[in-house]
Amino acid sequence: MALISLRNIEKIYNKGSIKTHALNGINMDINSGEMIAIMGPSGSGKSTLLNIIGCIDTPTKGEYIFNNNNISNLSNRNLANIRNENIGFIFQNFNLLNEYNLIDNVTLPLVYKKNFSGSMKKLAIEMLDKVGLKEHINKKPTELSGGQQQRVAIARALITNPNIILADEPTGSLDKKTGKEIMDLLVSINSTGTTIVIITHDSRVAKYCSKTIFIEDGLLI
């Protein structure tokens, strides 16, 4: 069953009289439980596509169906609610707050989640335990290795129990061995039913996924 359906998605950026077509009619489905890689050269439209899927950006044309709801024309506030309730993000450079400890970093998405009840700290510790970092909960990101920092970012993405996790080059800042450990962790998370979409330049990363989609000049190829 399709969790996400994109129909004839176009994205046009206007800079003065110059128009840039970042996406040129994208049609794709992302099914619940899939683990998908999106590959393509720089400037191909990968990041724009990920931003639209993640409700960070909106299409110029086309329909975006999320969980059987057409969200193409929703306000920024409503899109933010969908994003906060349903989508987890993992970034190449971790995007952690170095002045805060791991618990505070992991609980951050819960601050924006409506109607959360329970102990944020307890849930954060559970997520950090899930990614193998329970012994480090009071440390700050700068006290950890790159691989450990990415595990914190994964715990942060998981804490809202999202329908889908979007990962932008999740192994791009890691060595080969550590990258493999992160991908093994993502495969394990996907095996529990969480849908994962990964932007990557690395064919080794794509091999972990059940499907690879190639994009070039804003078109799926």
Domains of the chain (ranges plus CATH)? 2-220 (3.40.50.300)
Whether the CB-CB separation of 22 and 13 falls below 8 Å is answered with: yes
Give the model's pLDDT for residue 96: 96
**What is the rounded distance in angstroms from the CA atom of residue 19 to the CA atom of residue 203?**
32
Whether the CB-CB separation of 213 and 38 falls below 8 Å is answered with: yes
Q: What is the dihedral of CA 29, 32, 37, 43, to 10 degrees?
A: 50
Helix (H) or strand (E) holding 164: strand 164-168
Share of the chain above pLDDT 70, in %: 100
Confidence band for 112, pLDDT divided at 50, 70 and 90? confident
Residues sharing a CB contact under 8 Å with residue 58, sequence separation 6 or more, in sequence order: 52, 72, 79
Whether the CB-CB separation of 36 and 46 falls below 8 Å is answered with: no
Give the model's pLDDT for residue 17: 82
**What is the rounded distance in angstroms from the CA atom of residue 209 to the CA atom of residue 117?**
34
Give the model's pLDDT for residue 118: 75
Helix (H) or strand (E) holding 77: helix 76-86
pTM above 0.85, yes or no: yes
Specify burial of residue 122 (Cβ count, 10 A radius: 0-12, 13-18, 19+). exposed
Give the model's pLDDT for residue 113: 76
- Count H helices and E strands in the chain, helices first: 7, 10
Beta carbons within 10 angstroms of residue 184's beta carbon = 11
CA 164 and chain centroid, separation: 7
Please say if the pLDDT value at position 79 is more than 80.
yes
**What is the rounded distance in angstroms from the CA atom of residue 55 to the CA atom of residue 77?**
10
Please say if the pLDDT value at position 1 is more than 90.
no
Please say if the pLDDT value at position 66 is more than 80.
yes
**What is the rounded distance in angstroms from the CA atom of residue 186 to the CA atom of residue 166?**
11
Average pLDDT, the chain: 94
Positive or negative: CA dihedral 54, 153, 164, 198: positive
